[in-house]
Structure 1
Amino acid sequence: MKKVLISALVLVILSGCAYLGNAHFNDLFGDEQTQQRIVPHDSGAGAEFLQEVKPVLDTRCVVCHGCYDAPCQLKLSSPEGIDRGLSKELVYDGTRLLATTPSRLLFDATTTQQWRDKGFTPVLNERNQSPEANLAGGVLFNSLVLKQSAPLPENEILDDEFDFSLSRSQTCATMGEFDRLASEQPHGGMPYGLPGVSSQEFYHLQKWLKDGGKMAHIKPPTKAELTQVKNWEAFLNQDSLKYQLAARYIYEHWFLAHIYFTPDNPQSFFKLVRSSTPPGEEIQLINTRRPYDDPKVNRVYYRLLQDRSTVLSKTHLPLKLDDSKLARLYEQFIAPDYTVNKMPSYQAEAASNPFKTFEAIPINSKYQFMLDEAELIIMGFIKGPVCRGQIALNVINDHFWVAFADPEKVATPAVEDMLLQHEDALELPAAEESNALPISSWVKYSVREKKYLQAKVELANDMFKNGEHLTTDLLWKGEGHNKNAALTIFRHFDSATVVKGFIGQEPKTMWVLDYALFERIHYLLVAGFDVYGNIGHQLITRLYMDFLRLEGEQNFLALLPESKRHQIKKSWYRKSPPSLSKFFKNNRDFSQPSGIEYKTDDPQHELYGLVKQTLAPVLSDHYDYTQVPKPLNALNDMPAKAINLLPQLSYILVKQDDDSHKAYTVIHHNAHYNISSLLNEDGQRAYDEDTATIVPGFIGDYPAAIWYLNNSNEVSEFAQLLPMMQIEADYSALKVKFGIRRSHPEFWKYSDIMHQVAKEYRGVEFGMFDYNRLENR
């Protein structure tokens, strides 16, 4: 196999083409012209791609190049993404003054030539399709060769030549620019900052590229899946206005979901999309920035499109649909007695406000629909476009629990009437669309929020003034079986995770969501957020989320003794900016006493216990930190000085006597005096109060550190040394002994083990991890 690799290197060097400008390539191999590369999955070339090439791309390339936030927008997780190639334009840019043009695969262009017209450049050869040109004239192949010619130093911290920051400048070299890249960045080959592929893997990629880079999609859906698709599309596309409005509501909440029908091992995942064509015809995607934007067609049809991309953990939102779910939706949206006289407008000001758009649908129906899949709905802002970046996420604490108000108690006629009266005050920043002026918008929405909160508090004070005070009976109990009733959210600085259950130690804060709050979070951070929007849009979204967080916390505080509420809130917002203090002072709080009889001087601790007791039948124990065995469970009590040295997410693999593996995640919780300072997070950090939680399995999508422990002796030593760390050198010493660094010579072996173990732990929730946050320490 070494001969194969050497011959490939010689081929590129002797051809004299590896480092020549575009003009030379044109002279040698002709002008660039897009190629037809998609072949049937059951053809020879198609089968070879799926069996020999795609597994290499998935495990070695997609872990960095899988989605819209990949370096150079190079998405190697689908044939369309590979053929589209590179762009020098940034998707995530918190400084742009005007919204940019979206670049979503399948939506914003439908052919490779259209992507070329938008400025994307190829990574596969698009000149004459000779074997020599296919290798010498392709960025992807030359990147692989560059890595093989300049391997990483083994198991060392990589020097300043490497920049792994998410905001690093991107080269995105064309073949005409590749000579400069190779000269300036001799270690810039792919996979970047990781070991090269093996000789066997190189052989498969080289053969594929040499033969013209033919690609096939995964197998089409099974007959059973197509039957389910037909049934669901029939339900979602009936002619009555009642069905049409219900389908629009369902779509605007499920458009990010990965839908599947078989319970154990789905053959396919599907996306719910808007099409201009009805069921039975080929899907014609409606291309809009947001799911509620004007489709500019007479009739929208809701269709199920097979998602043919590699499943990525960071964007995977699995949703099972079956006959019982179909019956549930009928019960929620069709059976209730209400009338839809006309379909609501798609104008931005109206469509961005779900309280106006879906006013006809009973609150209880909408709220119960969201509660049924609460983890999925919240996962939308965790795994949707807003999830990338510290500025987007520094509006939430690093660890908190979420519960929900019972629909029977908060979806009453009085509440519905109050929402109808104040639906204008509930307007969201998305009404400004993708170009917003942050300061003027902030003032406008803060006034509206105060108006709504005033009405909400007045109603609550009135409802609970005659002896019927709030207790944990307020909480939705999941109808005795639904584990969505209790959730935990973890923030990992610039990414986040949501899981079922109350996971970890008691958090600093907790949210209790009601319908209006839950709905606004979704339309602010998921349906209404435009990752391609300008700085004003992104800032006002972040600022408005401050209001919603405070509202969720206020609902929780209402269960505590009235005399303690202000004191506890004040402890959450130490050193808060004057604007927030003024907001607190000007707002009238819920003034009725709690209906809970507290017995200690620590009512928040008591309340956590009561909430867990109330929701005990539906608490998921999937990530129960108390189930971590000794001695690793000691990591839950590490001193802050050691925790400060930990990255946000660390995965630990422990080899068992039978060669199987157990997995654990160590989560570093950054403590803050408050989280209401937009651009000064470091100034609000309370480093001495940092905590850590170790749980069984894998939490998160972006591992920063990977640890591999071969036996019980190493487990004991690791668990003893990690809490003893004092300085960076201590951490580095542990990394040498137990860590799998970026530069570990067998990095890919351990990466494969980790993904295999994750597949066993996560089942249908499994997707490839993303290595863009893997540390270099």
Structure 2
Amino acid sequence: MLFLLLVFTMAEDTGEIGTMQFFKTLVMMLFTTLGFCFYTGALAAETLSEDLFTHKIQPLFDNRCLACHSCFNAPCQLNLQNFDGFARGANKFNVYDGTRSKSVEPSRIWIDAKSTKEWRAKGFFTVHNSIEPEKNIFFQVLNLRAINTSSVKAQVHESQVCAANSEELNAMKSAQPQLGMPYGLPALHEGELETIKAWISKGAPGPSMDADKKAHSIPTKLQPQVEIWEKYFNQNELKQKLVSRYLFEHLFLAHIYFPEEPRTFLRLIRSKNPCNKPDEIATRRPNDDPGVKKFYYCFVKFPGTIVSKTHLPYELSHQKLARFKELFDQKWDVQTLPSYESGVAENPFVAFQDIPVKLRYQFLLDDAQYHVATFIKGPVCNGTMAVNSIQEQFYTFFLNPDSDNMVLSRDYEKQAAPLLALPGKFGSDVEFTSAPIDLKRITDYREAYRLLRSKELIKNRPDGYTLNDIWNGDEKNNNAALTIFRHDQNAVVMKGAVGDLSKTVFVLDYPLFERLVYNLVVNFDVFGNLGHQLLTRVYMDMIRMEAEELFLRFLPPEERLQYRRTWYQGILTSAKMEYIFPPVGAGEPTGVRFTKGTQTKRQMVEKILFYRMNEKVRGEIDDINWKKVTPPASSGLKVNATGLNKEFRKISSIAAESSSPFARYFPDVAFVMVKGKDQTRVFSLIHNKEHENVSWITAESLRMSPKEDTLTVREGYWAYYPNMIFQVPEKELPAFTSFITRIKNEQGYEALVDKWGVRRQNPHFWSAYDELQKVYLDYDRINAGYIDLTRYSL
């Protein structure tokens, strides 16, 4: 357009100038303009080639490496979520060593060191030791897989081997060639290897300055909102300082996003500097003393690629800010701020006693799914410590804030607070010899609290809890009913009552909810010693039993102990329960009316879902899995599965007894990609492994009840560590489900995998994985992240 305008202007101004001269000038301008265009294009191409990392290498890392190399469970901590991780390199130290006698220094990427030099001082070694690909550790490990495609016999977490130098690399190539990367999966194809090779030869350069700045900078579009939030967090009034500390300790793990750009994620940090130049304070825990008199709460860009196992999205918006102000700007006062001393900082009932309990509880309830998910993904990205103390599937409801003892009585709150001491008060180094004494102390506090709570409940509710004492989501919040599914060493939290009637049920009040957050998230140190980890795990047992006990208080007193016995089977377990968790309030009445002669647990769940909650709160009917849960006739609702759901219903919620044992042969979780003509829909197929009890840390395999195992099927991505991917053309889905119902043994399941499964060594594995990831991003842009393959079936 500019060129035509210039031509038109020249034509008007030619005047006496001859036509020939005009066209000579016109041709010169044309070539000059074209030359400029060609130059600009060449310059752009050159710039593109200079930023090889951003345009070629990081996408390769994302699609082929992040399946294993992210978070602490990455082999040798080699994290490839961005260039910082590659430059940091690897470390042979096992973060998840639960036997260490002393705590170790944290090694959180982007937090615990700010330069490659600092990481070297922490024991991390480079994987880019040479610009010659033939000598380069990183390239040679990739190339090793290309030339040795033999299958592997151990999972990734069992093969924490890496080469720190050329000598170790040569030894590994000779003795353990199966350790080539991607571990146990198809090798990178020739073009991908050539791309890595060319990058290595150039010195493995990082992203361009512009790309690096973009990766670490908050987009201009979001800066006004970020400034508003930073101003909110950094007000000088004591009241706001306390609120900001409380919010930070609950949001420090969050991947914060704004609706305007839902795939741009931020972190909330404490900074030594003002937020225009943030400098993160790297404490072990978010409630540790920051070590400086003046600090700032700031937002920083999350600089790496998102992976599902650590992804905890939390939305901030104008509406959320208004909600925070509605909650915390009410009339209450702060005289002095709490210290960060032991006995205060790790006990939220002491540290935040000036904030009214109802406000704190309502904050948790507003986003209950997020807060419960932090227990599972937590600061560790591997939920072993928490999840081996819970059942495979259970519903969770919440006590109405207006029914909570702590909300109802300030005097009761003051009596209860010191009894709610948590294991975090003993720090990251708990001497093994003192652990039993510390545990006894914590247990005594807990038992005193249980008695106090029961007496207060009798005073407040002499006739027992009623249905109205269950939180109904204020008739609009769908966080009021949650379901937790455990997948071996990890778990997932879903909204609604998903899956058939669960074996156990939680009801959380404020003290239970807050203790879960502080025991498993805020106070827990994955770098702590054996004693610290042991106390954390045992206290989780206590919380689980209290949450189950609170649900039982809604049932008829004559049935409570019987339910408890079915949840805790075994002679030793029964004795343990009588000793460490004797019944309290088992004979007190309930205000809920039940029909005699039918299952009261089932009745209570149905009353909560269909009489206490509306459809917006409880979510859609689970027409695939509900077989024991039945909507009342008066509701006009029916469990009526159609389409794909009808097919999956044929295999869901069927006990793995002798006539239908198929469920017990499935892995923890599989993704089923149902490929239709116009779209691919993904369903999670979850194996619920039933237990006689979950009361012990070890020997879990001796306490299984396989005849009670079932499958739950749910559309969507409800796992972060899948064990198998099935690809099923939609027209073959009836054959797929029919095949499953006929599985009688391991060989039957292997035949299913042979027909529809995608094994690790399948040459088309990566195309299936790529499609799975693409559909994930299309299906759920906020929650989508790269899926982990460290537990994929061998």
Task: Please say if 1:428 is aligned against 2:454.
Answer: no
Superposition deviation, residue 323 in structure 1: 0.7
Q: Which residue does 2:75 correspond to in 1?
A: 71
Which moves more between the two structures, 404-413 or 678-687?
Answer: 404-413
Alignment of 1:394-473 (within 5 A): 394-410=388-404, 414-436=408-430, 437=432, 438-465=435-462, 467=463, 469-473=464-468
Tell me the SS of whatever aligns to 1:770.
coil
- The residue that corresponds to 1:581 in the other structure is 578
Partner residue of 2:773?
755
Counterpart pick for 2:57 among 53, 60, 72: 53
| Offset at residue 201 of structure 1 (A) | 2.0
Number of the residue aligned with 2:314: 319
Paired residues in the alignment total 717
Q: How far is 1:198 from its partner?
A: 2.0
**Structure 2 counterpart of 1:631:** 647
Query: Equivalences for 1:588-599 in 2 at 5 Å?
Result: 588-589=585-586, 591-599=588-596
The amino acid of 2:754's aligned partner reads: V
Say if 2:310 and 2:381, in contact at 8 Å, map to a contact too. no
Corresponding residue for 1:669?
Answer: 688
* Equivalent residue number for residue 102 of structure 1: 106
Alignment match of 2:240 (pick from 221, 243, 251): 243
Letter aligned with residue 452 of structure 1: Y
Unaligned runs of 5+ in 2: 1-43, 626-640
State the distance in 2 between where 1:752 and 1:145 align.
21
1:571 deviation in Å?
1.1
Q: What amino acid sits opposite 2:603 in the alignment?
A: E
- Hey, what's the Cα distance between the residues in 1 that align with 2:522 and 2:125? 30
Secondary structure, aligned partner of 1:271: strand
Q: In the TM superposition, what are the counterparts of 1:608-687 in structure 2 within 5 Å? A: 608-613=605-610, 614-617=612-615, 618-621=617-620, 625=624, 628-640=644-656, 641-658=661-678, 660-687=679-706
Aligned mate of 1:360, from 354, 357, 371: 354
Is the 8 Å Cα contact of residues 491 and 719 (structure 2) preserved in structure 1? yes
Assess, with a 3 A threshold, how the Cα gap between structure 1 residues 578 and 171 changes in structure 2: closer, same or farther. Answer: farther
Q: Which residue of 2 aligns with 1:85?
A: 89
- Residue type at the aligned position of 1:101: E
Distance across 2 between alignment mates of 1:728 and 1:668: 15
5 Å-filtered alignment, 1:311-390, equals 311-333=306-328, 335-386=329-380, 388=382, 390=384
What percent identity do the matched residue pairs reach?
A: 34
Deviates more, 1:430-439 or 1:765-774: 430-439
1:477 aligns with 2:472: yes
Give the partner amino acid of 1:540: L
Structure-2 residue corresponding to 1:137: 135
Residue 25 of structure 1 corresponds to which residue in structure 2?
none
Contact between 1:257 and 1:319, CA under 8 Å: does it hold in 2?
yes
Q: How does 1:137-156 map to 2 (within 5 A)?
A: 137-152=135-150
Structure 1 Cα separation of the partners of residues 156 and 585 of structure 2? 44
Contact 1:503-1:625 within 8 A present in 2 as well? no
- Greater shift, 620-629 or 78-87, is seen at 620-629
- Across the aligned residues of Structure 1 and Structure 2, the Cα RMSD in angstroms comes to 2.0
Assess if the C-alpha contact under 8 Å between 2:386 and 2:540 holds in 1.
Answer: no
Question: Does the residue aligned with 1:181 lie in a helix, a strand or coil?
Answer: helix
Give CA deviations for 1:599-635 in whole Å, capped at 9, x if unaligned: 4421111111111112233123397635552322211
Residue 372 of structure 1, CA deviation: 0.7
SS in structure 2 at match of 1:668? strand
What amino acid does structure 1 have at the position aligned with 2:437? Answer: S
State the partner residue of 2:752: 734
> Could you say what secondary structure the match of 1:479 adopts?
helix
> For residues 245-260 of structure 1, what are the structure 2 equivalents within 5 Å?
245-260=242-257
Name the SS of the counterpart of 1:143 in structure 2: helix
Shift, 1:572, TM fit: 1.0
Give the superposition deviation at 1:758: 1.5
Opposite residue 704 of structure 1, the aligned amino acid is: N
Cα distance in 1 for partners of 2:343, 2:520 equals: 16
* Structure 2 CA distance for aligned equivalents of residues 402 and 638 of structure 1: 22
Alpha-carbon distance change, 387 to 422 in structure 1, aligned in 2, over 3 angstroms: same
Residues 387, 608 of structure 1: alpha-carbon distance in 2 compared, 3 angstrom cutoff:
farther
Alpha-carbon distance, 1:321 to partner:
0.6
Q: Distance in 1 between matches of 2:622 and 2:322?
A: 31
Equivalent residue, structure 1, for 2:551: 556
Structure 2 equivalent of residue 114 of structure 1: 118
**Aligned counterpart in structure 1 of residue 764 of structure 2, from 726, 741, 746:** 746
How far apart, in 1, do the equivalents of 2:442 and 2:650 lie? 46
> What residue is the counterpart of 2:168 in the other structure?
177
Kept in 2, the 8 Å contact 1:429–1:544? The answer is yes
CA distance in 2, matches of 1:416, 1:85: 53
Matching residue of 1:716? 734
Q: Distance in 1 between matches of 2:495 and 2:386?
A: 23
How far off is 1:388 after superposition? 2.1
Relative distance call for 1:483 and 1:581 in structure 2 (3 A) is same
Q: Give secondary structure in 2 for the equivalent of 1:773.
A: coil
How many angstroms does 1:166 deviate by?
Answer: 2.4
1:526 aligns with 521
Q: Which amino acid aligns with 1:81?
A: G
Tell me which moved more, 474-483 or 84-93: 474-483
Secondary structure of the residue aligned to 2:358 is helix
How far is 1:352 from its partner?
A: 0.2
Instruction: Determine whether 1:514 maps to 2:509.
Output: yes
Give the deviation of 1:413 after TM superposition.
5.1
Residues 457 and 589 of structure 1 are in contact (CA less than 8 Å); yes or no, is this contact kept in structure 2? no
Between the aligned partners of 2:389 and 2:740, the Cα distance in structure 1 is 30
Greater CA deviation, 164-173 or 201-210? Answer: 164-173
Q: 1:266 aligns with which of 262, 267, 284?
A: 262
* 1:405/1:512 contact within 8 Å kept: yes
The one-letter amino acid of 2:221's match is A
Return the letter of the residue paired with 1:442.
Answer: L
Supply the distance in 2 between the matched residues of 1:518 and 1:307 (Cα, whole angstroms). 28
The answer on whether the counterparts of 2:654 and 2:711 sit within 8 Å (CA) in structure 1 is yes
**Does residue 722 of structure 2 align to residue 703 of structure 1?**
yes
1:349 CA displacement = 2.2
Q: Which residue of 1 aligns with 2:634?
A: none
Structure 2 length normalisation: TM-score? 0.87
Q: CA deviation at 1:267?
A: 4.5
**Any unmatched runs of 5+ in structure 1?**
1-39, 128-132, 153-157
Distance 1:697 1:121 in 2: 39
Q: For 2:502 and 2:406, how far apart are their aligned partners in 1?
A: 31
AA of the residue aligned to 1:615: M
- Correspondence for 1:764: 782
Shift of 1:441: 1.8
Give the deviation of 1:119 after TM superposition. 1.3
